[in-house]
Amino acid sequence: MSPAELKERTVHADIARALVEQFSDKAESAPAIIAHHYTEAGLYEPAVRYWLAAAERALSKSAPTEADRHIVAGLALVPHLAQGSDRQSLELSLHLAHANALLPLKGYSTSETLAALMAAKQILESGIGSDLQRILVLHGLCTANYVAAKMNAALEIALQMVEFTDRQDDPAFRLLSYRALGSVQYFTGQYRQALETLRLAEGYRDPIKLKLLSYRFGIDPGLAVLCYKLWALMELGLLDQAKQVAEQVTAELKDHGHPPTIATCTFFGVIWPELLSGKAEECEQHSADLVAYCTEKKVAQFRLWGTLSLTCARSMIKPTPENIAAFRDAISAQHATGAHLGDSFFFANLTAALLGAGEVSEADLTLQRAFDFVEQSGERWWLAELYRLTGLVKLTQAEPDIEGAEAAFLKAIETARQQEARLHELRAVTELARLGRRNATSRDRRMMLEPILDVIEGGEETREVRDARALLLELV
């Protein structure tokens, strides 16, 4: 090293130490400046610590791009540190922060996010790390598998989380674990178990404390619990309760201030229920707003999901070739990130749009793709609907298969009853009552509809309930 280079390093070291020792406000508010000077001084251990501090500060301000830049700078210096537990601890914290930064920027299941989580897991397995870091890594891996629609793997990790946190005395850990388990149970079609699990999670909610921890968890886990609880209530036909939870989600979102949480819970707590209820016009508007918000705030995963729900809603409203093509493109864009969660739902809606456009052969192919996906992924939550759509495809063929359609509707009803999926059962029963096979009288068909309508609480504005009641009026 030349004298000039040595002098420059000394100057940088003096500046860094002065900022830390004499200007404590700078040390807290601008750790990236201090990290830069320590890096230029060749003092790598404090440099890495300040790059980490800068990244965590950026995450707390919902600035993932800035956080990612600081983390990359810190990770580049790790090879210069002496081997040992201190180095591993710093590296573990950097990888975890990196995963949190990548979630909104890249998505849950991209190779970059998974690489950060697996690097953190490897360090944890060597005996380094805290309970918080362990649960964060498990949560990240569970979420990655869940978003990739690898439900068996996600369930296994969620159960590990519950087992681990049941031995701890930390409400936040338990909320995170039970929320993860409840979400997987929901998408595997275990609606009653999901609701029970999510109610357990809800018991550990602390909106103020967990709101502050949103940047560590990627999103506010307490608010996410309410979104999944809302879905489970809807599927079980408890629509008045679901409406109350939806209002609570909207109220808590208003002043939240954490963009990934706002994006996630707007999609899951507002847009998704609109899709499930067939409120296509409302869904279209809210999805367009979400896409604009996510573009501004750089929340990539939910910009894609917002685009997916937007194109889905438009194809529901008007199944034109242009809208269907846009819907297909949105599904493909989502798949490019490794995300397949909800594919059975979106393939089902694509099938319905293709039927509406008169593309019966394409609809049948798409439906078979959906069944293949369910078999491969374990995502069974929309299975009853796939059987109902099978019946519609059989009725729409050039030579309608009435008996095949009836068998498909009966299979949809059987599946829905096994899952206690009241809305799915109502849809299938309505189709069967419309079909009116085997000399069924109006009274027979009324007797199909009335029992399932009786167990559904509220929801008079939903598509399923409206359609069923309209049919009842016709069956006099």
CA distance 417 to 414: 5
Question: In whole numbers, what is the pLDDT of the chain averaged over residues?
Answer: 91
The one-letter code for the residue type at 186 is Y
pLDDT in tens, 78-87: 999 999 999 9
pLDDT in tens, 158-191: 999 999 999 988 898 999 999 999 999 999 999 9
Confidence of residue 214 (pLDDT cuts 50, 70, 90): low
pLDDT in tens, 434-451: 887 555 677 878 888 999
Give the list of residues 6+ apart from residue 222 with CB closer than 8 angstroms, or none: 175, 205, 206, 207, 210, 211
Which of the given ranges, 19-23, 369-373, 456-460, has the highest pLDDT on average?
Answer: 369-373
Residue 212 has pLDDT above 80, yes or no: no
What number is the average pLDDT over the span 377-403?
96
Domain 1-129 shares a fold with domain 133-251: yes
Residue 366 has pLDDT above 80, yes or no: yes
The per-residue pLDDT for 437 is 53
Confidence of residue 27 (pLDDT cuts 50, 70, 90): low
Map out the domains of the chain as residue ranges: 1-129, 133-251
β-pair partners for 238? 457
- Percentage of the chain lying above the pLDDT 70 cut: 95
Give the list of residues 6+ apart from residue 306 with CB closer than 8 angstroms, or none: 263, 267, 271, 287, 288, 290, 291, 294
What number is the average pLDDT over the span 140-161?
95
* CATH C-level class of 1-129: mainly alpha
The per-residue pLDDT for 450 is 92
CB 382 within 8 A of CB 356: no
* CATH code for the part of the protein at 133-251: 1.25.40.10
The per-residue pLDDT for 350 is 98
> What is the pTM assigned to this prediction?
0.87
pLDDT in tens, 285-321: 999 999 999 999 888 888 999 999 999 999 999 999 9
pLDDT in tens, 91-113: 999 999 999 888 878 878 888 99
CB 55 within 8 A of CB 67: yes
Residue 470: half-sphere exposure toward Cβ, Cα within 13 Å: 11
Confidence of residue 25 (pLDDT cuts 50, 70, 90): low
The per-residue pLDDT for 276 is 87
